[in-house]
Amino acid sequence: SAADSGVTLLDYGAGNVRSVRNAIRHLGFDVKDVQTPEDILNAERLVFPGVGAFAAAMDVLNKNGMAEAICSYIEKDRPFLGICLGLQLLFESSEENGPVKGLGLIPGVVGRFDSSNGFRVPHIGWNALQIEKDSLILDDVGSHHVYFVHSYRAMPSDENKDWVSSTCNYGDNFIASVRRGNVHAVQFHPEKSGGKISFLSPVYVGLTILRRFLYPKTNLEKKPTERKALKLAKRVIACLDVRTNDRGDLVVTKGDQYDVREHTKENEVRELGKPVELARQYYKDGADEVSFLNITGFRDFPLGDLPMLQVLRYTSENVFVPLTVGGGIRDFTDANGRHYSSLEVASEYFRCGADKISIGSDAVYAAEEYLRTGVKNGKSSLEQISRVYGNQAVVVSIDPRRVYIKNPKDVEFKTIRVANPGPNGEEFAWYQCTVSGGREGRPIGAYELAKAVEELGAGEILLNCIDCDGQKKGFDIDLIKLISDAVSIPVIASSGAGSAEHFSEVFRKTNASAALAAGIFHRKEVPIQSVKEHLLNEHIEVRI
């Protein structure tokens, strides 16, 4: 049986490979971990999900003799699958904090995407492949979107054209996959690209790619696709605000302008479901990502909050799209006087299956400090986590509140002329950042914050709006336009979705890369599928 022959996984401990592990197990294989270079040489099938930075990875591989073992394994044409950095490391060198020498098996230099031509970096999301040659594992995947998350890429050339099996367009035509004989590597993440698990599944994506690598002799039924993926898709994200209710159970809640309590005599926390169940449901319904926000994390210590870690572990076992978790990421000293750094908190989240972490309050303090001093001291949680895990793994969640003003000169923050005047006829507004779940306003605007956190290493912005949260009147277009035009990292529009039309509106009128909703999904008022169908009808690229 398949399970007799294990899969050898090269995990050098730099980040989250839990989802790759889960996906392999899901497909019926045992996972053996590489301990020594001999384990590589003796592997029947080697999966190499590279994570972290290029230089750090090469360092580890060179020090313990793994680099040499990988090269000789690949030169013998043994079954190999590299993922993401696991593809890049096969090249001669990378410009990431470099030049840094790679394994040198494929001619070419890995360079950074150019964000000057309007393409946001990191390249995050579901993009289309251009199949260049028969790659076996990618057979007919070319019609579907697959999930990418990276800032660096290798480019096709005459020297490496024997290797290139597919490309992807994102400003440049970069290498999406390589194949020679039994050696495969992909820049995207099959383990995060969804996909049904039955052999008769009509959906040939994600896990199917992994399955074809693991069961090379499998002939899979082909089904013509109705629509071909063309370019980077706009993402539709389901968000679960999670907290413990008054009985101590972790539940999904939903606020009304951030107020999550029922206005009854008991004043209980509003409950909309169980986190793991809802996350699975949204994955099946076609959500492109799922976010968990531990909304009381600012006062409770998240590592004390074991149920939240458990939620992540369970969810990542069978939800094969990216998972983000936020709430309480900061330095903390517990009741016993033990100090935890924000990096430790984030690492625990990554180990439990998060692909990205999201920072709220702590990013506001870091941005204020940076703007006050003009120096990046490298000590903020934002800087530390993005240095170790890469900026594509760090989201900053902004919780701004609209403040109307008569005259832009009245404040030192970036103001806009609002589409709809304020209650006293004010024509201008600024967006004040808050911390602690909207409880405290801070002397910094959303615009200033967004620009500062981009410089400090954020890879994406989750842009909420307290005024619009739970109102179902549509996203705050003024705010989202302001912020998505100000930064060159992807922006997720959040707060206020009430209908499928609100999604097309935000994508038409702003440069948001993704749109997130909570209430309408939880209350089953607007299914994710109908949002996608509407966007398709509006000629907005989405993943089907």
Q: Which sequence positions are flagged as catalytic?
A: 84, 189, 191, 241, 399
461, 291 in Cβ contact below 8 A? Answer: no
Nearer to ligand 1PR, 96 or 362 (CB): 362
In angstroms, what CA-CA distances link 360 with 235, 403, 424, 512? 21, 20, 31, 19
Distance, in Å, from the CA atom of 22 to the CA atom of 25, rounded to the nearest integer, reads 5
Q: How far apart are CA 388 and CA 143, in angstroms?
A: 35
Least distance CB 458 / ligand 1PR (angstroms):
13
Structure tokens that stand for 178 in this block: 């390589």
Q: Give the separation between CA 158 and CA 138, rounded to whole angstroms.
A: 22
Nearer to ligand 1PR, 142 or 519 (CB): 519
- Phi first, then psi: what are they for 48, rounded to 5°? -125, 90
Estimate the crossing angle of helix 446-456 against helix 381-389, to 10 degrees: 40
Beta-strand relationship, 416-417 and 428-435? antiparallel
Closer residue to ligand 1PR, CB minimum distance, 305 or 362: 362
Nearer to ligand 1PR, 319 or 462 (CB): 462
Measured torsion, CA atoms of residues 448, 454, 460, 466, in degrees rounded to the nearest 10: -10
**Least distance from C-beta 327 to ligand 1PR, angstroms?**
4
Least distance in Å: CB of 466 to ligand 1PR? 8
| Cα separations in angstroms, 500 against 145, 160, 496, 544 | 21, 44, 12, 15
* Closest distance of CB 490 from ligand 1PR, Å: 16
The DSSP code for 218 is: P
Strands (DSSP E) found in 129-163? 130-131, 145-150, 152-154
Nearer to ligand 1PR, 103 or 497 (CB): 497
Q: Measured between alpha carbons, how far is 349 from 384 in angstroms, rounded to an integer?
A: 15
Q: How far is CA 166 from CA 153, 163, 224, 331, in A?
A: 13, 9, 20, 43
Cβ distance to ligand 1PR smaller for residue 288 or 399: 399
Q: Name which of 408 and 474 has its Cβ closer to ligand 1PR.
A: 474
Supply the minimum distance, in Å, between the C-beta of residue 498 and ligand 1PR. 8
Nearest to 439 by CA among 248, 267, 253, 255: 255
Residues within the interface to ligand 1PR (CB under 6 A)? 239, 241, 254-255, 258, 260, 293, 295, 297-298, 326-329, 358-362, 397, 399, 437-438, 464, 469-470, 494-497, 517-519
Decide whether 57 or 260 has the Cβ nearer to ligand 1PR.
260
Q: How far is the CB of 256 from ligand 1PR (least distance, A)?
A: 9
**Which residues on adjacent β-strands are paired with residue 9?**
33, 47
What is the spatial distance between Cα 165 and Cα 538, in angstroms, rounded to a whole number? Answer: 32
Question: At CA 219, angle to CA 217 and CA 222, rounded to 5?
Answer: 155
Length of the chain: 544
Instruction: Quote the least distance from Cβ 493 to ligand 1PR, whole Å.
Output: 10
Structure tokens given for 355? 């692909």
Q: How far is the CB of 302 from ligand 1PR (least distance, A)?
A: 8
